[in-house]
């Protein structure tokens, strides 16, 4: 069983625990601690001579360890760590490997931007935020100390594509580490480690969980890079709860079939909206007029379930379109079975000034769609009636 298995097989079988009762998948160990037959047995586990479960906050709980084994396999990583949220994962990454500074390339999740701009500097951690078109300045920022280069691709909300291989090879020339937030793509559509990234970050709240019913995060990479993060996670108390770990493992078993349908539906919506008289631009990396199309075709296996449309008119016109949607719900998250719509200016990028939004290419008339698993004809007709 050592030969490389396909992603769908790994989703179903990867990391699953064999128990004494023949359960087909890992059961839920909803326990905080684990008992031993003797002090000597306990010390064997505490001192690392034997593998074993000890205390759930450390992550040494079979349900969590089994989930982490599956998560590592899905990104082709040696190791994985599961967290209570995507932000917990990102924060632990920055506090461990970003202490000499973090350079963020391109747009990023609002919480991540807030952490980088407002909070890490309070701890004396230098951070720099580059727009994707400013990536040429990266070299000048990396000489000197050992920095962490961080980016998302596709980005939120304009779905810009950042060339993982190009940024990773440049950053490595300067001895920097490279972390990619792979939340928007999911491992079913993109494997950043294969393109040279060192660490992958996930908000498992999105496609990995996939049903808008759990909050979790993950980091994947080499054991050498994750071991020091595990120590921070323990002491900051950011470990995923076993109940959530079990729910997330359940969701991961259907990741590939879900993401394939997200991809198909999103592409159908993008093509249907392109050319609509009330739509100025459709942003979808699978359309051949998208500026990132060529790179996306190379580094992605599918183009994802997110579509952003820029409608004609003013912010109020875009709000009216959103308010007229019947099937697609107004909510700020993504990656679930149900389709959701938001205006970035009212949610994810609400905290930014008008000038900063403009600098980032985020317009008041943008609507971000997370395309779910409904019938695509129903989604397209809902959008058509909302556009009027």
Ligand X SMILES: *Cc1c(COP(=O)(O)O)cnc(C)c1O
Of 10-18, 105-113, 236-244, 254-262, the window that binds ligand X (rule: CB under 6 A) is 105-113
| Nearer Cβ to ligand X (181/382) | 181
Query: Is 258 considered catalytic here?
Result: no
Q: Phi and psi at residue 33, in whole multiples of 5°?
A: -145, 170
| Nearer Cβ to ligand X (53/306) | 306
Nearest approach in angstroms of CB 92 to ligand X is 12
Of 34-42, 65-73, 81-89, 190-198, the window that binds ligand X (rule: CB under 6 A) is 81-89
Q: Phi and psi at residue 195, in whole multiples of 5°?
A: -100, 10
What is the Cα–Cα distance from 206 to 215, expressed in whole angstroms? 8
Residues of this chain, 107-166, that bind ligand X according to CB under 6 A: 109, 111-112, 152, 156
- Sorted by sequence, the CB contacts under 8 Å of residue 256 that are 6+ apart come out as 7, 8, 11, 188
Nearest approach in angstroms of CB 221 to ligand X is 17
Of 53-61, 64-72, 181-189, 262-270, the window that binds ligand X (rule: CB under 6 A) is 181-189
Choose, from 29, 70, 109, 284, the residue flagged as catalytic.
Answer: 109
Choose, from 44, 57, 99, 253, the residue flagged as catalytic.
Answer: 57
Runs of H (alpha helix) within the chain: 7-13, 39-46, 62-74, 86-97, 110-114, 138-142, 164-173, 223-236, 242-252, 255-273, 293-299, 315-324, 354-359, 376-387
CA 16 to chain centre: 23
Query: Is 181 considered catalytic here?
Result: yes
Closest to 170 (Cα-Cα) out of 178, 161, 162, 182? 178
Encoded tokens for 231: 């120590």
What is the Cα–Cα distance from 341 to 323, expressed in whole angstroms? 10
Query: Is 57 considered catalytic here?
Result: yes
Instruction: Establish whether the linkage from the previous residue to 126 is cis, with ω within 30° of 0.
Output: no
Asked if residue 206 binds ligand X (CB under 6 A), the reply is yes
| Nearer Cβ to ligand X (79/85) | 85
Residues of this chain, 270-309, that bind ligand X according to CB under 6 A: none
Of 19-27, 83-91, 271-279, 362-370, the window that binds ligand X (rule: CB under 6 A) is 83-91
Q: Which residue sits closest to ligand X, CB atoms considered?
A: 86
Choose, from 70, 191, 206, 258, the residue flagged as catalytic.
Answer: 206
Query: Is 109 considered catalytic here?
Result: yes
Cα dihedral angle (273, 276, 280, 283), rounded to 10 degrees? 10
Quick one: 57 exposed, middle or buried, by C-beta within 10 A (0-12, 13-18, 19+)? middle
Asked if residue 217 binds ligand X (CB under 6 A), the reply is yes
Q: Which residues bind ligand X (CB under 6 A)?
A: 85-87, 109, 111-112, 152, 156, 181, 183-184, 203, 205-206, 215, 217
- Residues designated as active site: 57, 109, 181, 206
């Amino acid at each position: 069983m050592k030969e490389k298995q396909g992603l769908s097989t790994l989703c179903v079988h990867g990391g699953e625990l064999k128990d004494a009762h023949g359960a087909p998948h890992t059961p839920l160990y909803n326990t905080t601690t684990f008992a031993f037959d003797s002090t000597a047995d306990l010390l064997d586990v505490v001192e690392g001579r034997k593998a074993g479960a000890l205390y759930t906050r450390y992550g040494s709980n079979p349900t969590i360890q089994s989930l982490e084994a599956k998560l590592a396999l899905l990104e082709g990583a040696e190791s994985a760590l599961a967290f209570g949220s995507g932000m917990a994962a990102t924060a632990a990454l920055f506090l461990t490997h970003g202490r000499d500074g973090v350079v963020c390339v391109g747009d990023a999740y609002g919480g991540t931007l807030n952490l980088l701009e407002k909070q890490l500097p309070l701890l004396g951690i230098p951070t720099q935020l580059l727009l994707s078109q400013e990536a040429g300045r990266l070299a000048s920022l990396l000489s000197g100390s050992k920095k962490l280069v961080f980016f998302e691709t596709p980005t939120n909300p304009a779905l810009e594509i950042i060339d993982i291989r190009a940024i990773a090879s440049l950053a490595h020339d300067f001895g920097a580490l490279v972390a990619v937030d792979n939340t928007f793509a999911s491992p079913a559509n993109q494997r950043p480690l294969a393109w040279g990234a060192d660490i992958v970050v996930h908000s498992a709240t999105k496609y990995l969980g996939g049903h808008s019913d759990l909050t979790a995060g993950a980091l994947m990479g080499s054991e050498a890079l994750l071991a020091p993060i595990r120590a921070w996670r323990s002491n900051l108390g950011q470990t995923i709860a076993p109940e959530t770990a079990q729910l997330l493992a359940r969701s991961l078993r259907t990741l590939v079939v879900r993401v394939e349908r997200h991809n198909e539906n999103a592409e159908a919506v993008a093509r249907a909206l392109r050319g609509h008289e009330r739509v100025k631009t459709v942003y979808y990396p699978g359309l051949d007029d998208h500026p990132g199309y060529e790179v996306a075709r190379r580094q992605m296996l599918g183009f994802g379930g997110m579509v952003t449309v820029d409608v004609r008119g003013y912010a109020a016109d875009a709000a009216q379109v959103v308010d007229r949607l019947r099937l697609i719900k107004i909510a700020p998250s993504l990656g679930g079975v149900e389709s959701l719509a938001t205006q970035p200016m009212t949610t994810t990028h609400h905290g930014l000034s008008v000038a900063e939004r403009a600098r980032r290419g985020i317009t008041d008339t943008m609507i971000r769609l997370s395309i779910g698993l409904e019938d695509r004809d129903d989604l397209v007709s809902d959008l058509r009636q909302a556009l009027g």
